[in-house]
Structure 1
Amino acid sequence: MGSELAREEFEKCKNILIGGKCMRKSVGILCLIFVLFIVNGCGASSDKRVTGSLDHKAPAVANETKKPVQLTQVTSFFPGPDFAGIYAAKKKNIYEKAGLDVTVQPGGPEVSAVQVVASGKAQIGIAQAYDVLLARDQGTPLVAIFTTYQHSPRVLVFHKGQPIKGFGDLNGREAYIGPGQVYWDYLTKKYALDKVKMLKYTGSLANFAYSKEAVVQGFLMNEPIELKLQSMETDYLLVSDSGFDPYSNVLFTTEKYLKDNPETVQNYLKATIEGWNYYYANTEEINAYLKELNPGASLERMKLAVEPMKDLIYGGDAAGKGMGYMSKQRWEELRDQLLDLGIIKKKENIEDAFTVKHLPK
């Protein structure tokens, strides 16, 4: 097509040269230049259509690295084995590989993860299952998305050899219990514990150590181990055996964040589970890291907590349905218990309060 156009232009110029008496020689030269320009231009155009390789301004390739999604996770206490999977995922760049820039904010006695997440200062929090239902009852739309422990690790510790076989045997004893404990309200009502002398538990085990008939609250991987390290022989009652067995160390977010960021939540949970798996394959490495973050923690205590935690994390429904799984039946049971105790007022549609849709399949 280019050569045909060139011939047409040449014929026009030739006619001008032959028939135009007033035309100067320069006109012919200009025509010749013009024809050459047409030939070259059309040839290049033709080549470009065939090969597409001569365009030096080809569209830019979208090869920029996607920015990681920023996310803040607030825990319920200082760095320790309870949150080892989260810290492992952070240290080993598992979150980063999942496209997440995660900041882990430690909790503590003065930190309410529920309030921090509700305020928008963090996107993911850790609390107990009943905290989620209580928050919803008070108008804060939180949603549980994962449970660390399939069963509550709450225990009531007593000195070995004491005639305590069941919860009813606590009557007549001193009990060091923290204020506002939901499980104690349940036990008091179910077992008529009206003869227990209530004393405030501050975290110190000194008073319990000197009172052989006393009972102190604790967690399976904390107080019993601490007392063992102090060469005290103890035994305990598992609160979950009483019938009050809420999911523990539950990860939660807000309804809005979950609705707006389902992929982020899914990636976060997958990476967190990978973090837990890494921890249980490399406990000494991650325990040493936790010690760096929390110098007051005991490596020996952390080592002794590994096995009791493992069954709570990977046992129960998690054994068949995967880590973090929660059932509707367990959540409904907890809701009804809280209603019976008067702790919540509304009968929550439990499917609004938790979901397992974002757990890895």
Structure 2
Amino acid sequence: MDNRKTASKAMRKAAGMAALAAAMALSACGSNGGNEGGSANGAAPSPSGSATAAPEASAPPAELAKVTQVTNWFAQPEHGGQYAALAKDFYKEAGLDMTIQSGGPGISSTQIVASGKAEFGMGQADEILLARQNGIPLVAIAATFQKNPQGIMYHKGKYKDVSELNGHKVYVGSGVAFWEYLKRAYKLDGVEEMKYTGSLANFVDDPDSATQMYVTSEPYTMEQQGVAVDSFLNYDLGYKQYGNVLYTTEDYLKKHPDRVKAYVEASVKGWNYYRDNAEEINLVMQKSNPDLKLEAMAFGTKALEPLVYGGDAETNGVGYMSKDIWEGLQRQLVEIGLLTEAEPIDGVFTNEFLPSP
């Protein structure tokens, strides 16, 4: 890493003949060719005059680079790989002193990363494109979800096609990019749009309504309340974007490519660990988010498995991103008027720092 310091070796002086002392000093200087954390041994005379092994002073530990990543919500299975990398010291082993800062209501990870208060962030693919248009030069460096878990939830058996939502209430955030696409693609001009507040009470009370959701969480909430639901996944409806994309700024990537590589590789290692050790890491995350029950985490873990480890990740590994997917999403955002132009997509994302599958 560019920030690691090469440890200097202190030469030991031995009592005795001047010639032997000089020889020891030369040996100590040349025995460690800059190996971090290593130690070299030189022969030092014992009080009786016989030679014994006398180890040099231990090198100080390499300095870790302090970095922060901001997630897009409170700790939950959607962040499992990041917390696994932290809990199992994968970041530390890669030379990073990592802090995970939870997102939440009113917290903009893009603004925090752009301001330099955090080096890495997590968000949706469309957020990266929209941020760049607004003068925030973010670069996607890994996509932890091959398929975004966002979708539309409705009461079980009510709808077979998303176009049937016309004439009914849909609880959705104002100006949400995926909803603007769905309205245009499926001619949802007859939908009664209702403000999404995070509460599902109104949805439960109206069997004809629908609401935005994450397939990894809201269906579990409904299951606990005895409400049977189905859902449309936005990705399957044509709005193909990556979810929980890891990103940094162009400037940070240019100045610290080694740290970016270390971060990406440790994160991917964390996601691979989480796949087989979710229960262990869920306990870790619950300490950061005690309001989330382990049963809900178990549901989320199962729901996210095909979204994280399926698709292109099966052959190219966790985090892989396709140029076709990025270009398709960019084109859709231009068509619905959220992007004014399509910039060269090669500057938007990179697979350069991903480990070999």
State the TM-score, normalized to the length of structure 2: 0.84
Does residue 1:231 correspond to 2:201, yes or no? no
- Give 1:17-28 correspondences, 5 Å limit: none
Partner of 2:135: 139
Secondary structure of the equivalent of 2:240?
coil
The one-letter code of the counterpart of 2:290 is P
Give ranges in structure 1 of 5+ residues lacking alignment.
1-43
Partner of 1:122: 118
Does residue 1:181 correspond to 2:151, yes or no? no
Secondary structure of the equivalent of 1:188?
helix
Partner of 2:321: 326
RMSD: 1.8
- Give 1:1-361 correspondences, 5 Å limit: 53=23, 55=25, 59=29, 63-162=59-158, 164-361=159-356
Give ranges in structure 2 of 5+ residues lacking alignment.
1-16, 35-58
Inter-partner Cα distance in structure 2 for 1:222 and 1:122: 27
The one-letter code of the counterpart of 2:178 is Y
The one-letter code of the counterpart of 2:236 is D
Inter-partner Cα distance in structure 2 for 1:122 and 1:115: 9
Inter-partner Cα distance in structure 2 for 1:189 and 1:281: 40
Inter-partner Cα distance in structure 2 for 1:138 and 1:326: 23
Deviation at 1:250, TM superposition (A): 0.4
The one-letter code of the counterpart of 2:334 is L
Inter-partner Cα distance in structure 2 for 1:155 and 1:103: 30
Secondary structure of the equivalent of 1:207?
helix
Is the contact made by 2:271 and 2:318 (CA closer than 8 Å) also made in structure 1? Answer: no
Secondary structure of the equivalent of 1:59?
helix
Deviation at 1:328, TM superposition (A): 0.8
Alignment CA distance shift 1:59-1:210 (3 Å): same
Alignment CA distance shift 1:55-1:217 (3 Å): closer
Once the two structures are superposed, residues 238-267 of structure 1 have per-residue CA deviations (whole angstroms, 9 ceiling, x without a partner) of: 111221111111001000111111111111
Secondary structure of the equivalent of 1:305?
helix
Deviation at 1:270, TM superposition (A): 1.2
Inter-partner Cα distance in structure 1 for 2:218 and 2:86: 27
Alignment CA distance shift 1:56-1:92 (3 Å): same
Aligned residues: 314
Secondary structure of the equivalent of 1:323?
coil
The one-letter code of the counterpart of 2:261 is Q
Secondary structure of the equivalent of 1:155?
strand
The one-letter code of the counterpart of 1:325 is Y
Inter-partner Cα distance in structure 2 for 1:245 and 1:175: 21
Alignment CA distance shift 1:288-1:332 (3 Å): same
The one-letter code of the counterpart of 1:240 is Y
Inter-partner Cα distance in structure 2 for 1:57 and 1:195: 84
Partner of 1:6: none
Between the aligned residues of both structures, percent identity stands at 42
Is the contact made by 2:90 and 2:266 (CA closer than 8 Å) also made in structure 1? Answer: yes
Once the two structures are superposed, residues 65-100 of structure 1 have per-residue CA deviations (whole angstroms, 9 ceiling, x without a partner) of: 210111100011001111111111112212111111
The one-letter code of the counterpart of 1:102 is M
Is the contact made by 2:78 and 2:300 (CA closer than 8 Å) also made in structure 1? Answer: no
Inter-partner Cα distance in structure 1 for 2:269 and 2:80: 11
Inter-partner Cα distance in structure 2 for 1:241 and 1:273: 25
Runs of 4 or more, structure 1, over 6 Å off, are none
Deviation at 1:56, TM superposition (A): 7.8
Inter-partner Cα distance in structure 2 for 1:56 and 1:357: 43
Deviation at 1:113, TM superposition (A): 0.5
Deviation at 1:57, TM superposition (A): 9.6
Is the contact made by 2:140 and 2:248 (CA closer than 8 Å) also made in structure 1? Answer: yes
State the TM-score, normalized to the length of structure 1: 0.83
Partner of 1:11: none
The one-letter code of the counterpart of 2:96 is L
The one-letter code of the counterpart of 2:91 is Y
Deviation at 1:307, TM superposition (A): 1.6
The one-letter code of the counterpart of 2:74 is F
